[in-house]
Chain A
Amino acid sequence: MTDTKTPAPAGQGTGAASAGAASVAPTGVRRFSGRWFGDLAIRYAMVIVMLLIIAFFLYRSARFGTPENLTTILIAAAPFALIALGQTLVILTGGIDLSVGSVIAVAAVYGSITAKAFPDNVWLAVVTGMVVGLIAGSINGFVVSVIKVPPFIATLGMLTAASGFAYVAGNGAPITGLPASFSSIANTQILGLTLPVILMIVGILGFAVIMRRTAYGMRVYAVGGNPVAAQIAGVKVGRTLFSVYAISGVLAGLSGVMLASRVTLGAPNLGQGYELDAIAAVVIGGASLLGGRGSIWGTALGLLLIQTLNNGLDILTVPAYWQDVIKGALIVTAVAVDVWSTKRRP
């Protein structure tokens, strides 16, 4: 999502910015006109599309709008949300992290092994998953920022290697017979929501604030927008690059453990292909793969759009293969609208 499309509350505060003495602040209420409406429609195109899709499903299915179904959507979205957040940071720097799906698997397997060994301290399993993710992410970050291998290649390598590790750890079989204490992690209820959903909501809010309100967020945007300029402004470019891959790894690790806990199975094929849905969510949310442009809110919206669509099409019993066709078309359309609206800007 380009800056102009970022909803104002999370942004730098347009009002505060234009209060600067050097600027000519446009005062007064903007008049409602066709032009204004058109601009607004483009700015919130994704929200409008989302509302249309929701309206369509509500009209076609009585089940879609129930609170139970809403919960189902959120639970399905949660594992994607964590990796999509990390992916947003990576894509903002102009990189990509293809390894997150495999990191989910390897963290799920090692988390499950830990849970079996320490059934009374299942939180150790969560820590293990996150540490596994941190290691994978740090290797990615090191290879990208120090050895300077292109992110696509570096994380493609990790995608393959981590998947291999997931199978090695369980000798090719899923880890079964997990203690009930482990599966209860993902079912912990807080305010009527399960822990993964809470993590998703906290993650989105937290990263939205970090990216907009902290020096770290600004460094990430600057490194993606123009690494040379960032370096001249004193930003430690390599360190910043390393950090986004490490964060992406930790989040994938956390996501993996939660997933294993939810399905009570440490399967080495968990999370397979998730990286593509995460990248799709970021891109639908308006981020540029060239870096520097995008936002956490955009990703959250893109994520919910994909999950709502999955859920609604399931309810309408649209065959899975057709669902993929529709999702594919949506990704390209979303980016096309973004390219077109960016061109239109003055």
Chain B
Amino acid sequence: MSVVDQLPGGIPNRGEVNPDAPIMLECVDLKKSFGGVPVLKGVSLKLEQGTITALSGENGAGKSTMMKIASGQYRPDEGRVLVRGEELPAGNPNAAHALGVAIVPQELASVLDTTVYENIFLGRERRRFGFLDRRRMIREATELLDDFGVDIPATARMGSLPVGLRQIVEIVKATSTGARVLLLDEPTSAIAEREVARLIGIMRRLRDRGVSLLFTTHKMEEIRAIADRVVVLRDGGLVTDAPLSTLTDDDIVTAMIGRELEDLFPERPEVRDETVLTIDELVVAPSGAPVSLSVKRGEIVGLAGLVGAGRTELIESIFGTRPVLSGTVTINGEKLRPGNPAASIAAGVALVPEDRKGAGAVLSMNILQNGTLPRLGQFSTFGWLKGRSRTAAVAKSMESVRLRSRGLDQEMETLSGGNQQKVVFARWLTADVNVLLLDEPTRGVDVGARSEIYRIITSLAADGMAVIMASSDLPEILSLSHRALVLRGQAVVGELDRDDLDDPGVQDRIFRLASGMTSHTKGATHD
């Protein structure tokens, strides 16, 4: 008999609050600061047995911190966590585990070289006479997987599975150790659409067995699909906690961003009649189709699509950090040398990459050094760094994005996410930029800094830059860009002009294009 069968029933109907349902997890007035910056400002929350709660909010709202406290990874500054009435010792993940609280983190911690069954039984291996009883582990793992309707062999290597299935293995592992409260941090952020459906099925199945689930998301369709209850955090405070049935989409969005969408986005700049960037039949992946595109001064072109659709690849190929298979990129009539970032930079191309901490900035260096790095040639004479003129130029560009810092010698590491992103923008502005390539420019940036970054983007476009912006945030694409391309499978599958983007049904249309559902495309695939 598998462990899952032993879970108690007790299934409340969807959307209704059952006053008799036992409270599985209760957070009381949680407060937490990092380096003096409050991330949670007193949040309370109750999870009932057999319910799915969506923990929603913008990036930086405090969702992940909340989960890490509830699972014992972080110690709250104030407040406490109760699991079925029993107080969780602060900052003790093992105690949380023993009380039946399991977390499936955003970055999965699976050991990729192990098999599925080894991973499921990691830390509680079945033994026989002191030796591993592999046959028993494989048998039990197979039962558990069958129970969830997951059709993968228990002996498959974790590394050979797609991320979505690895995640499901982690969920199976968590629940098979007797988890009654399951915390899922951004479970759908890195997985394919088909896998999302499977994940949702498994979450429902767990709920029906009486497990309480809390998952973070900022996607409306997921909230609509599975949540019984919606909790919205904004800037570390709780702004909404209500059954889904009592909320409209607008209620949730307004709660998340704290203002109407229009206030967040500045006016689009005027497009000038002068083409800066021409991409001709660029092929970036063996499976991809050639992409052609031209962008004028002042124009912002959005790139929409799912994770893995090829947006990042396209941007990196234009910039030169990724090899190009065929095709050309031309800036102001001059062909770019492919695969050579230094040449692209000299031609006035700038890249603000997706993974800010991993790719955008050198965190161990200070603001001045990061501001110098992309234009070392300009800032040195025969290899010797310039003094005053360099400092002045970097200071001026940092001022232009209204960077808040203690000085140019402040280390990047000690800046907030929003300010780091401003440095990553501003370090290009010490010389003329013709083409600005942005990859997820506001990921991990809080709402306040986000609207500032939108203002920076539009003012740079207004100054005459051609902007290409890849984003998973649809409102960002819809509100900022003059045109948007939808990518799927390394190819452009749709191009939407301003009128298309203003159409009320555009979100649905982009989603269908991006996911490859063609039933209602209204003939939008004009490459």
B384 touches A213 (CB 8 A): yes
A231 touches B407 (CB 8 A): no
Q: How far is the CA of A22 from the CA of B398 in the complex (A)?
A: 6
10 A-B pairs closest in CB distance: A20-B395, A23-B407, A225-B362, A292-B364, A22-B399, A234-B342, A18-B407, A225-B364, A215-B380, A17-B409
| Stretch of B83-91, B133-141, B160-168, B371-379 at the chain-chain interface | B371-379
Q: How far is the CA of A110 from the CA of B362 in the complex (A)?
A: 42
Cβ-based interface call for A152 (8 A): no
Take A346-B35, A346-B414 as given contacts and tell me if A213 and B341 are in contact as well, using a CB distance cutoff of 8 Å: no
- The listed residue (A25, A215, A236, A293) touching B407 by CB distance below 8 A is A25
- The listed residue (A13, A23, A225, A228) touching B395 by CB distance below 8 A is A23
Cβ-based interface call for A45 (8 A): no
Cβ-based interface call for A267 (8 A): no
A221 touches B385 (CB 8 A): no
Cβ-based interface call for B387 (8 A): yes
What residues of A have a CB within 8 angstroms of the CB of B427 in the complex?
Answer: 233
Closest CB in chain B relative to A295 CB, distance in Å = 12
B368 touches A17 (CB 8 A): yes
A215 touches B379 (CB 8 A): yes
Closest CB in chain B relative to A60 CB, distance in Å = 40
**How many residues from B make CB contacts under 8 Å with A?**
52
Take A229-B360, A233-B374, A235-B373 as given contacts and tell me if A20 and B365 are in contact as well, using a CB distance cutoff of 8 Å: no
From B344, B363, B376, residue with most partner A Cβ within 10 Å: B376
Q: Which chain A residue lies CB-closest to B409?
A: A17
Q: List B residues 325-358 near A (Cβ within 8 Å).
A: 341-342, 344-346, 351, 353, 355, 358
- The listed residue (B321, B366, B409) touching A232 by CB distance below 8 A is B321
Cβ-based interface call for A62 (8 A): no
A214 touches B383 (CB 8 A): yes
Q: Which chain A residue lies CB-closest to B352?
A: A232
Q: List A residues 230-262 near B (Cβ within 8 Å).
A: 230-236
What residues of A have a CB within 8 angstroms of the CB of B409 in the complex?
Answer: 12, 14, 17-18
What residues of A have a CB within 8 angstroms of the CB of B341 in the complex?
Answer: 231-234
Q: Which chain A residue lies CB-closest to B412?
A: A225
Take A225-B364, A229-B360, A231-B341 as given contacts and tell me if A24 and B406 are in contact as well, using a CB distance cutoff of 8 Å: yes
Further contacts, 18 of them, CB under 8 A, given A232-B319, A292-B365: A3-B365, A12-B366, A12-B368, A16-B387, A18-B407, A18-B409, A20-B392, A21-B395, A22-B395, A22-B396, A22-B398, A215-B379, A215-B383, A215-B384, A216-B383, A225-B363, A228-B358, A234-B345
Cβ-based interface call for B479 (8 A): no
What residues of B have a CB within 8 angstroms of the CB of A229 in the complex?
Answer: 358-362, 373
Q: List A residues 304-346 near B (Cβ within 8 Å).
A: 345-346
B408 touches A23 (CB 8 A): yes
What residues of B have a CB within 8 angstroms of the CB of A346 in the complex?
Answer: 35-36, 414
Cβ-based interface call for B388 (8 A): yes
What residues of A have a CB within 8 angstroms of the CB of B143 in the complex?
Answer: none
A-B interface contact total, Cβ < 8 Å: 143
B399 touches A232 (CB 8 A): no
What residues of A have a CB within 8 angstroms of the CB of B359 in the complex?
Answer: 226, 228-229, 232
Cβ-based interface call for B405 (8 A): yes
B342 touches A17 (CB 8 A): no
Take A20-B408, A23-B408, A235-B373 as given contacts and tell me if A214 and B380 are in contact as well, using a CB distance cutoff of 8 Å: yes
Cβ-based interface call for B403 (8 A): yes
21 A-B residue pairings within 8 Å (CB atoms): A12-B368, A17-B368, A17-B407, A17-B408, A17-B409, A22-B403, A22-B408, A214-B380, A215-B384, A218-B373, A221-B364, A224-B364, A225-B362, A225-B365, A226-B359, A228-B353, A229-B358, A230-B362, A232-B360, A233-B373, A234-B344
Closest CB in chain A relative to B396 CB, distance in Å = 7
Cβ-based interface call for A222 (8 A): yes
Closest CB in chain B relative to A286 CB, distance in Å = 12
Q: Which chain A residue lies CB-closest to B393?
A: A20
Cβ-based interface call for A116 (8 A): no
What residues of B have a CB within 8 angstroms of the CB of A224 in the complex?
Answer: 364
Q: How far is the CA of A233 from the CA of B388 in the complex (A)?
A: 22
What residues of B have a CB within 8 angstroms of the CB of A25 in the complex?
Answer: 407
A292 touches B362 (CB 8 A): yes
Cβ-based interface call for B411 (8 A): yes
Q: List A residues 1-37 near B (Cβ within 8 Å).
A: 3-4, 12-14, 16-26
Cβ-based interface call for B369 (8 A): yes
What residues of B have a CB within 8 angstroms of the CB of A43 in the complex?
Answer: none
Q: How far is the CA of A103 from the CA of B360 in the complex (A)?
A: 38
B407 touches A222 (CB 8 A): no
From A16, A215, A228, residue with most partner B Cβ within 10 Å: A215
What residues of A have a CB within 8 angstroms of the CB of B374 in the complex?
Answer: 232-234
A214 touches B384 (CB 8 A): yes
Q: How far is the CA of A229 from the CA of B409 in the complex (A)?
A: 19
- The listed residue (A14, A23, A213, A230) touching B373 by CB distance below 8 A is A230
What residues of A have a CB within 8 angstroms of the CB of B24 in the complex?
Answer: none
Cβ-based interface call for B394 (8 A): yes
Closest CB in chain B relative to A265 CB, distance in Å = 39
What residues of B have a CB within 8 angstroms of the CB of A19 in the complex?
Answer: 391, 395
Q: How far is the CA of A23 from the CA of B391 in the complex (A)?
A: 11
Q: How far is the CA of A337 from the CA of B360 in the complex (A)?
A: 30
B398 touches A20 (CB 8 A): yes
Q: Which chain B residue lies CB-closest to A236?
A: B342
Q: Which chain B residue lies CB-closest to A212?
A: B385
